Structure 1
Amino acid sequence: MRKLFSLLLILALVTAYVPGAYVFAENNQESQPELQQEATEQNVDPLNLQVRSAVLMDVETGQVLYSKNEHVSLPPASVTKVMTMLIVLEAIERGQTSWDDIVTTSDKAHRMTGSQVFLAIGERATVEELFEAIAIYSANDGAVALAEHIAGSEEIFVNLMNEKARELGMRNTRFLNVTGFPYIEQHPNFNDPDGHTMSAMDIAIVSRELVKRYPEAVEYTKIPFATFKNGVDMPTRNNIMLRHDWVDGLKTGFTNEAQFCLAATGVQNGQRLVSVIMGAESDRARQDETLKLLNYGYNNFEKLTMVRGKEDIESTRVEKGKERDVILMAAENLNLVVEKGAEDSYTQVIEIYEDIVAPIEANTVLGQIYYTKDGALVGYPVNLVAKEDVEKGGFFRLLTRGVKDTFVNIFEGIADSILGIFTKDNNE
């Protein structure tokens, strides 16, 4: 019996320090919802907007603060050019073109109708001059000229727009041209029931992408008036900016089918919002409904820093480490837009990866922290990273720790058994 006991004890000790044999309890954590911001139509519309669809989005976090028919595909008219401007700015960033590059007007660009700066065939203008004509005056001819300059043809440029839409998760968008001009008017024999469409949510997504990645874009969209090099006056079509100087963009649109549309953006108290209105009955109506939407955001929500970058959040066990635990800290600030007076309705969730094994370098991602409301993700997750390096423990350190842990477990098991016996006797 003594030999059997000794054999069992040796096996227990060996198991305690054999690499990979450690077993740690899983971190106590909540199940994470899908990491995506999904707009949901509100049960009670607090604004009763007189439009076909609408979205209000915070630019930094991507949080949707209001939505109405947000996924319905509708004709966007010239709001299309938000994507056109984004593709142009990406081309400049890649070095494919520059602000000073010269663009020569083609016959196709010259023949564009609707909003235009009346480019003549062969007329030369810089990329910046044409971009400004699009941003301020919604120039269709300028948009086609830039598309041809960057991609070689409008058709290839449209392919780039659709690829970018897929990349951004714009699920209800289909571009047929770079202007938003009614495609059927340019192609009378074209028969396609889907047509050129976007949803309010998709417009908000691309608008956020534009102003977040390229804040210089609003330096053009906020210009109230300019004159093109050929003498054509370019007053802004975004008249809401003339009424409120904190609004600095973004893009208007109108066709008989689309009615009056507007993707707007503005800043108050350091917070930038993007609003989208589709299908208003008049220019004044789209201005008023946009103001109602933006003011709703600023009056009813506030941005809070829920977690600060480099803040210690949690510690977790490390396998085979010189140290048993590692401290996790937030990689960056976690900002959240919350309803005023309802801060307690947001739940913090910490998720730590399993099977963390030394060695670990400082700033290695080992988990994430985020917030939910009613079980749904709000805002965005922030990575949790190792605060310090954790070296791999030496053989004898791990052996000693394994022996110690084994005896602790044995004594805890004995204590639990004895406690169980006494508890049973007392109950009897």
Structure 2
Amino acid sequence: MSLIHRLDSRDTDFRTRLDQLLAFEAEQDDSIERAVSEILNAVRLEGDAAVLAYTKRFDALDAKGMSELELPKSELQAALDSLPAEQRQALEEAAARVRAYHERQRAEDWEFQEADGTRLGQKVTPLDRAGLYVPGGKASYPSSVLMNAIPAKVAGVRELIMVTPTPRGERNPLVLAAAAVGGVDRVFTIGGAQAVAALAFGTKTIPQVDKITGPGNAYVAAAKRRVFGIVGIDMVAGPSEVLVISDGSGDPDWTAMDLFAQAEHDELAQSILLSPDADFLARVEEAIARLTPTMPRAATIATSLKNRGALIRVRDLDEACEIANHIAPEHLELAVEAPDPLIAKIRHAGAIFAGHWSVEALGDYCAGPNHVLPTSRSARFSSPLGVYDFQKRTSLIRMSKAGAQRLGKVASILAHGEGLQAHARSAEMRVEAK
């Protein structure tokens, strides 16, 4: 029984089989959609009372009021102070690297002046308030707190509100510590669609935010889809993906483990290896068979690789880059001796990890760039989460009299062509002014 799909780009049905492997559409579960619709409507109409009721129902937290569900900043700091020294140092070093990288992304105001005195430009302002959803329970990711909170604060967001479920009152100290390090302003121990609704609509206790970011389960994803337009959202992420391009110069055990690092997320995660070296592909397959049983999440890894993973033989590295651009992966590892020529050929990828030492796991935690990346081929048109997601750009137009009279004629002609006479007349009045 095959552990992982084997494909060859020389086969006549290669593209068909590849696209079948890549195909992923989040199922619109009718029961989830109905439940989310009900929850959103209840929170919109009933506010805090609905949030308290759903938190009792889903998280077994019987709070008497919303004040019991908000954590004071002192508790976040206490969580940070309680960490073992090694863990705290790792968290703070990761945060410093993420902050240093994102500080380079800040957009600035600019203006330029034309010959007639007209000045055009751009004004950049941060969002007033952002909401950060952080999974709780089994899926607790302090790294996601840093990757969402730090760009928001670097952008200048005035208030960052974090929501995170704490089933039966179980709180993850690392998540709370990350909130302290990331500069989160307020934390509420609520989750699910009700938390998304509270952030989107606002309640008496929780103010409405301008944008919601952060990962969540199917209910959270469905809720984010539904509130988009009322507030902004980062994305509705699909399963995690890695694509490795190898020239055969690497260690097959390293490559197998890099594939595992994505496959262990869940059964729908996707791990693909492209290489022109048939012998290397065979050695990686052997490593997969040998190493999978040693992994704590062996069952998840095995299912992911069997259903959605692939070892693909290609003609050469140029073809590997062409296929990579078609796949547009979330993570792309260029596990080759000379990655720079390949980087120049890649147009679509969430993040590129160049060379044998640039393992994707470092990007997840502490390299610096954001680990919130486009999935499901959306790297063709989307970018990693960044400071720019928490800033808005406003156009500035300062027309001189000469500019308005010159361009007024242009606007008038175009407006008449569109049948918008008031537009035309508004421009013409400036042209006629003495």
Compute the TM-score of the two structures, normalised by the length of structure 1: 0.23
Structure with bigger gyration radius: 1
Higher helix share: 2
Structure with a larger share of its residues in strand: 1
